[in-house]
């Protein structure tokens, strides 16, 4: 018996040793081949000077961004959203305790930091009020009484996956907020949850274009006939890429998406950098009024402000035409807005941030007595209660966010939105990766995120002594400027 065991052990060790030896030899052969290849190639300097070893640079460069997020970056250091911002959203969408202990980790001396100016006698719970629905489009055949001041910003089906759109649609219904389609057109997945829809018309006019790529009245009427479609938004530009149209990589243009957009399958979908048929303020107002007349529903436009000199001319043109021909809303995006794909010079360096552009726009509307006619929707990196409340203080009627709701779906800021390799299934059309995103579960998280954010904005409003968030004004907040001083917003941006 012992002889048999010993024989088996010897044979096993010999076989195992043979496998190890073969593996070592194979690795040495591969290493020699790679060494010679690196030494004689002429493209990569590091690999040519340091054959084989130089390859580790590219490995460390790739995995470094993931290690920084989890092990090295402090809570407030990362961009575009730091760990503290993301963690608040994750806790809010899971509906778990969102309190913290000991003290704030936020550096309150950094320029751009908001403070809210609490009063000595905050609003009691019994005196608080919920924000009431606000009417958009009073001159339309079908005006929209929008129930919530916080809503889902434009994200196209194509940029987002099918289960992500399904979860957002169902979650928006539960939350009582609207969902913007993004410029990629209206899919069945937007509608299946039963939420209110804002149909965005981008420069390529996906979903409402004729065979020549021009706006089709017939298709506009088809979309307007859907009761869930409550408004139409004409996109002039977005914060992440002002002056550049939408970019959907070829790998994301599936048969279904091509059908919805009326474009070829498997070819990159690149929108024009502006609407070819809109080259002036009069063209813009003509187009907005035409869409409103055809659809009977509120119509506005989205843009990021850069130059502001044209705003006076715009307001005078509206004055000349009459209030009924004014846009029903303006969605103002920020230069730090997000996107699935954009050139770095545009995403880094073009357009004004919201804290600068929002008070400029609101003041112009007040100056021309259009503020009560045109609703203002603020967009761009507004994912936490502080930034949402600050936007309302600066004059926004509504706030929309895209990336906040992406985090509620499980986004981990992997920065792979443009590669069809999103590990959480939010921005990929790979069925294996989509499998992890279960719409039924994530819909609840979308609704929890909305509910908890609204609740905490209400909490800020009560601390400032007002009954509900839309009563917040510039005197209720201050912003840190160079030198570390905090200046009230009504002094920093005087109202007209």
The reported pLDDT for the residue numbered 213 is 85
Residue with the two structure tokens 């992997």: 414
Question: How much is the pLDDT for 62?
Answer: 62
Please tell me the distance from the alpha carbon of residue 244 to that of residue 81, in angstroms, as a whole number: 23
Positive/negative CA dihedral, 91, 239, 82, 398: negative
Backbone angles phi, psi at 248, to 5 degrees: -115, 115
Its pTM stands at: 0.87
Q: What is the 3-state secondary structure (H, E, C) of 82-118?
A: CHHHHHHHHHHHHCCCCCCCCCCCCCCCCCCCEEECC
* Residue in 200, 204, 261 with CA at minimum distance from that of residue 229: 200
Interstrand relation of 477-480 and 398-401 (parallel, antiparallel or unpaired): unpaired
> What does each of the 496 residues of the chain score in pLDDT, given as a tens digit?
556 656 655 665 666 677 788 888 888 998 888 888 888 888 777 787 888 887 877 666 666 666 666 555 555 566 677 778 888 899 999 999 888 877 777 878 889 999 999 999 999 989 999 889 999 999 999 999 999 999 999 999 988 999 999 999 999 999 999 999 999 999 999 999 999 999 999 999 999 998 888 999 999 999 999 999 999 999 999 877 777 777 777 877 888 888 888 888 888 878 888 899 999 999 999 999 999 999 999 999 999 999 899 999 999 999 999 999 999 999 999 988 777 667 777 777 788 999 999 999 999 999 999 999 999 999 989 999 999 999 999 999 999 999 999 999 988 888 888 788 888 899 998 889 888 899 999 999 999 999 999 999 999 999 999 999 999 999 999 999 998 899 999 999 998 7
In this structure, what token pair is assigned to residue 230? 């409550």
> DSSP 3-state helix, strand, coil percentages of the chain (rounded to 5)?
45, 15, 45
Chain centroid, CA 136 distance in Å: 23
**Calpha distance 242→245 (Å, rounded):** 8
For 125, counting Cβ atoms within 10 Å of its Cβ (0-12 exposed, 13-18 middle, 19+ buried), the class is exposed
Rounded distance between C-alpha atoms, residue 360 and residue 495, angstroms: 9
User: Where are the domains positioned within the chain?
Assistant: 2-72, 125-492
Contact 446, 172 (CB under 8 A): yes
CA-atom Rg of the chain in angstroms: 27
Q: What's the token pair of residue 42?
A: 């002429």
What is the pairing mode between strands 229-235 and 247-248?
unpaired
DSSP letter for each residue of 242-303: TT---EE-GGG--HHHHHHHT--TTS-EE--SS-TT--SHHHHHHHHHHHHHHH-S-EEEEE
**Is the bond into 10 cis (omega within 30 degrees of 0)?**
no
C-alpha angle 82-394-150 in degrees, rounded to nearest 5? 65
| 286-291-293 Cα angle (round to 5) | 90
Q: What is the pLDDT of residue 130?
A: 87
Quick count: other Cβ atoms within 10 Å of Cβ 227?
Answer: 11
Contact 245, 270 (CB under 8 A): yes
**Per the CATH hierarchy, to which homologous superfamily does domain 125-492 belong?**
Aldolase class I (3.20.20.70)
Of residues 234, 205, 240, the one with CA closest to residue 340: 240
Say which residues have a Cβ less than 8 Å from residue 280's Cβ, sequence separation at least 6. none
How many Å apart are CA 93 and CA 365, to the nearest integer?
36
**Position of tokens 């169902």?**
170
């Amino acid at each position: 018996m012992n002889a048999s065991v010993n024989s088996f052990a010897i044979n096993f060790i010999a076989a195992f040793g043979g496998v190890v030896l073969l593996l070592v030899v194979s690795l040495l052969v591969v290493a020699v081949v790679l060494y010679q290849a690196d030494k004689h190639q002429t493209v990569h300097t590091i690999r040519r000077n340091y054959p084989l070893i130089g390859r580790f640079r590219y490995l460390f460069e790739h995995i470094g961004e993931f290690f920084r997020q989890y092990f090295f970056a402090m809570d407030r250091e990362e961009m575009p959203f730091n760990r503290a911002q993301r963690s608040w959203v994750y806790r809010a969408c899971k509906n778990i305790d969102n309190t913290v202990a000991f003290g704030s980790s936020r550096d309150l001396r950094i320029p751009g930091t908001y403070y809210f100016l609490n009063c000595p006698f905050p609003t009691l719970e019994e005196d608080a009020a919920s924000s009431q629905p606000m009417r958009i489009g009073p001159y339309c055949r079908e005006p929209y009484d929008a129930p919530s001041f916080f809503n889902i910003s434009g994200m196209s089906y194509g940029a987002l996956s099918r289960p992500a759109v399904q979860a957002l649609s169902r979650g928006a219904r539960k939350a009582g907020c609207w969902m913007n389609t993004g410029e990629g057109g209206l899919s069945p997945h937007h509608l299946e949850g039963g939420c209110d829809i804002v149909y965005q018309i981008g420069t390529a006019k996906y979903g409402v274009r004729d065979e020549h790529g021009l706006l089709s009245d017939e298709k506009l009427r088809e979309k307007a006939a859907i009761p869930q479609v409550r408004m139409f938004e004409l996109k002039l530009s977005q914060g992440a890429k002002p002056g550049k149209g939408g970019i959907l990589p070829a790998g994301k243009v599936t048969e279904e998406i091509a059908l919805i957009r009326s474009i070829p399958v498997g070819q990159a979908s690149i929108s024009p950098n502006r609407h070819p048929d809109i080259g002036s303020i009069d063209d813009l107002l003509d187009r907005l009024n035409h869409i409103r007349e055809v659809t009977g529903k509120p119509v506005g436009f989205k843009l990021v402000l850069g130059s502001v000199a044209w705003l006076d001319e715009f307001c005078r043109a509206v004055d000349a035409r009459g209030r009924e021909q004014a846009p029903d809303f303006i969605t103002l995006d920020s230069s730090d807005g997000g996107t699935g794909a954009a050139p770095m010079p545009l995403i880094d360096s073009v357009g004004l941030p919201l804290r600068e552009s929002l008070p400029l726009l609101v003041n112009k509307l007040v100056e021309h007595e259009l503020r009560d006619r045109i609703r203002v929707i603020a967009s761009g990196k507004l994912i936490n209660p502080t930034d949402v409340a600050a936007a309302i203080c600066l004059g926004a009627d509504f706030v929309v966010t895209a990336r906040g709701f992406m985090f509620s779906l499980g986004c981990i800021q992997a920065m792979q939105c443009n590669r069809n390799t999103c590990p959480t299934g939010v921005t990929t059309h790979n069925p294996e990766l989509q499998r992890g995103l279960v719409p039924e579960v994530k819909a609840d998280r979308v609704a929890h995120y909305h509910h908890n954010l609204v609740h905490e904005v209400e909490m800020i409003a009560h601390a400032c002594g007002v009954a509900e968030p839309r009563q917040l004004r510039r005197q209720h907040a201050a912003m840190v400027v160079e030198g570390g001083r905090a200046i009230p917003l009504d002094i920093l941006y005087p109202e007209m």
